[in-house]
Amino acid sequence: MNRKKAFLFLPCIFVCLIIIAQPDRWQQRVKYTMNIDMDVNTNRFKGIQKLVYTNNSPDILNKLFYHLYFNAFQPNSSMDTRSRELGKILVNGRQDWDGRVKDRISQLKDDEIGYQKIISLKMNGVDQPFKYHETILEVNLTKAITPKSTVTLDMVFEAQVPLQVRRSGRDNPTTGVRYSMSQWYPKLSEYDYEGWHPTPYVAREFYGVWGDFDVTISIDKTYKLGGTGVLTNAAEIGWGYDAPGTELKLTEKLKRSWHFIGNNVHDFVWAADPDYKHLVRKMPNGGPVLNIIYNYKENDLKNDTAWNIIADAAVTVLPFMESKFGKYPYPQYSFIQGGDGGMEYPMATLIVGPGLGTVFHEWMHSWYQMMLGTNESMYGWMDEGFTEYASDLVGVYYRDKVSRVKGASNPAYIKTLDSLAAILPLDHYSNYQSYYFIAKSEFEEPLTTHADHFNTNVGYSVAAYSKGCVFMEQLGYIVGAAVRDKILLEYYKQWRFKHPNASDFVKLSEDVSGIKLDWYKEYWCSTTKKIDYGIDSLWEENGVSKIRLKRIGQMPMPIDLQLTFKDGSTEMHYVPLNLMYGEKPAENKQNRTVHEEWRWTHPTYVVEFKHRLTDLKKAEIDPTKRMADVDQKNNILELNW
């Protein structure tokens, strides 16, 4: 078998022989039982937390770490100082701090700050010594936790809810929501094959242990709640949880208790407000219940219409999401107005308003963070970038799928639908443009940079969201779009609930595609080297037409070269990269000519074709524009013979 035929055959073998066995990686396990007593007058609450912790690792644990997120919202905290320091950097004439944070933390008064204080902590009934490191609690255990053993940690704590600054907080003037309770309780840090991850809360930490949450929240009886999990006492509460459209049931008690249970999740969020309204949608065929909870504004038809569109859109897109990325495994999902933008949590998200793009993005986080659970501090691009890629596709699907039939008799519904649909992404264009901006700037840093240690906010944001999105679309260019789609479903199948890292994803991609991809990860993630190819020259020699391609940038890639001739016919010429040890299948049933591999050490490559040179009208590198070439002007050569 000659080498070219071998390369054609290998991808077929690997696609057919996808690994069936699941990866063997141990996971720690938690079971939280929490009882919370909220005082809406002082904005403080007391908590009793029972945490059953199972050490499934092979290691002896001599200490534990908890996250105390609310402690970030105090003047001179790490979050405060970091934000003000970044504000000294100008990007295109604008301060590089998060516009929601700015210097606001430094101005908080005593009754506006956030804090979490540990009153007592016991392990198996024995008091444990602990030490505060601002947003991290270090516990030096009096007795080590041995491998494959389970302990019970009993904690009493109290907290004050800060003014809304970042993600969590109270009394946000933008939304009018009273309490956005995300990252609100002492949360055990993750321990994995790399050890403990006690990442201070500076901006972006989100990494947790999978387990079960049993949470009871006692709060003023006028308040209405949404959150992670299933409300187990729905018959007692009413308000749409027992049946769609019911009112909040009367009680003579000053406070009512809301009892939520969420299983196999790695966090718990809730929000509360007296003026919340609750819409319910039930997916057919036993699918999840969808809750839409928002601040009701009397006689505001536009607001009601917009949130109803969100509810209907969620029903419309879920089957597409499951077909492309895997089945949603939980019994419910809640879109809750709150927070400061959009922030994802298990079985729920906080969003400031009814924007379809935000809704699709945050819900796709149920896959790329809630189920796959990468360490966001180290692999933010696998969280935000994969979600950006997926939500772009969801937006396109919704735009093409949605029908006006349901709202035909409601002009306000149609008008609002049109205005929202108009801003949905048509493809990944905006993410490519953002990547090109950062690649041509002084602010780009490798994707391997820790999320909190990027030199600028803009550097992090474009890297995690846009360059991460481009990674996935460009992967389709390298291995073929259809193969990339198989990779995503297999990724879901093999790695959900197991905290995969970048190497895990790339190894799986290699198994599915039959193509070596370590070079792609190293260049795209570990460096800031750029892709730049160009058409250098063309000529005819001994009756053979030739076109020379040149690699100008430092990152090598396989090349699709499309030739268009005067008679209107086209030819696709494919040049694999030698580092791939294989080639992508022909896409869209397109006939193509496969050439010998381009060795990455060689800056030029000559493609031969059979037409007369004067028959050539146009030559174009990567007509699909999926390859993130930073200078595409030299990718096209148009001829006027």
pLDDT for position 402: 74
Q: What is the pLDDT of residue 159?
A: 98
According to the model, what pLDDT value does residue 275 have? 97
Rounded Cα–Cα distance for residues 541 and 530 (Å):
33
pLDDT digits (tens, 9 = 90+) for 123-173: 999 999 999 999 999 999 999 999 999 999 999 999 999 999 999 999 999
Q: 83 and 101 in contact (C-beta within 8 Å)?
A: yes
533-638 domain in CATH 2.60.120?
Answer: no
Q: What is the pLDDT of residues 8-58, one digit of tens each?
A: 433 443 334 444 456 889 999 999 999 999 999 999 999 999 999 999 999
Q: Which pLDDT score is estimated for 165?
A: 97
Q: What contacts 332, CB < 8 A, 6 or more positions away?
A: 229, 230, 288, 289, 290, 291, 347
DSSP string, 264-317: EES---EEEETTEEEEEEE-TTT--EEEEEEE--TT-HHHHHHHHHHHHHHHHH
- Range in 94-108, 412-426, 466-480 with the lowest mean pLDDT: 412-426
Predicted local distance difference test score (pLDDT) of residue 421:
46
Burial of 604 (0-12, 13-18, 19+ CB in 10 A): exposed
In the chain, what's the furthest Cα-to-Cα distance?
A: 97
Confidence grade of residue 4 (pLDDT, cut at 50, 70, 90): very low
Kindly report, residue by residue over 292-330, the tens digit of the pLDDT: 999 998 888 999 999 999 999 999 999 999 999 999 999
Res 516: pLDDT: 98
How far is it, in rounded angstroms, from Cα 586 to Cα 618? 21
pLDDT at 476: 97
- Which contiguous run of DSSP H or E holds residue 16? helix 3-16
The whole-number pLDDT of residue 417 equals 53
CB atoms within 10 A of CB 603: 11
- CA–CA gap between residue 459 and residue 462 (Å, rounded): 6
Q: Please report, as a single letter, which amino acid is at residue 248.
A: L
Backbone region of residue 93 per phi and psi (left: phi > 0; alpha: psi in -120 to 50; beta: other values): left
* Per-residue pLDDT, 298: 84
**What is the helix (H) or strand (E) element at residue 389, kind and residue range?**
helix 386-401
Separation CA 223–CA 341 (nearest Å): 22
Specify the DSSP class assigned to residue 152: E
In whole angstroms, what is the distance from residue 574 CA to residue 594 CA? 5
Residue 235's pLDDT band, with cuts at 50, 70 and 90, is: very high
Residues 6+ apart with CB under 8 A from 376: 204, 205, 206, 207, 369, 383, 451
Task: Supply 547's token pair.
Answer: 């076109």
| Tally of helices (H runs) and strands (E runs) in the chain | 14, 33
Six-digit token string for 102: 């700015």
Give alpha helix (H) positions in 343-455.
356-364, 380, 386-401, 411-421, 429-439
Residue that the structure tokens 């879109």 belong to: 335
Range list of H helices, 496-541: 502-513, 518-526
Q: What is the mean pLDDT of the chain?
A: 93
- Phi then psi for residue 181, to 5 deg, are -100, 75
Question: 637 Cβ partners below 8 Å, 6+ apart?
Answer: 535, 538, 618, 619, 620
Average pLDDT score over residue span 192-207? 95
Q: What pLDDT, on a 0 to 100 scale, did the predictor assign at position 220?
A: 98
Q: What proportion of the chain, given as a percentage, has pLDDT over 90?
A: 89
Residue 383 DSSP label = I
pTM given for the model:
0.93
Classify 32 in phi/psi space as left (phi over 0), alpha (psi -120 to 50) or beta.
beta
Query: What number of residues does the chain have?
Result: 641
CB 159 within 8 A of CB 167: no
Q: Which two tokens stand for residue 196?
A: 């403990």
- DSSP one-letter code for 215: E
For residue 421, the cross-strand partners are none
Residue 17's CB is within 10 A of a number of other CB atoms, namely 11
For 237-262, b/e burial (b = at least 16 CB within 10 A) is bbbbbeeeeeebeeeeeebbbbbbbb
Q: Where in the chain are the domains?
A: 533-638
**Residue 460 in contact with residue 444, Cβ under 8 Å?**
no
The answer on pLDDT for 426 being more than 80 is no
pLDDT digits (tens, 9 = 90+) for 247-289: 999 999 999 999 999 999 999 999 999 999 999 999 988 899 9
Note the pLDDT of residue 19.
40
Give Cα separations from 479 to 339, 483, 509, 583, 634 (angstroms): 39, 6, 9, 7, 24
Q: In one letter, which amino acid is 566?
A: K
DSSP 597: P
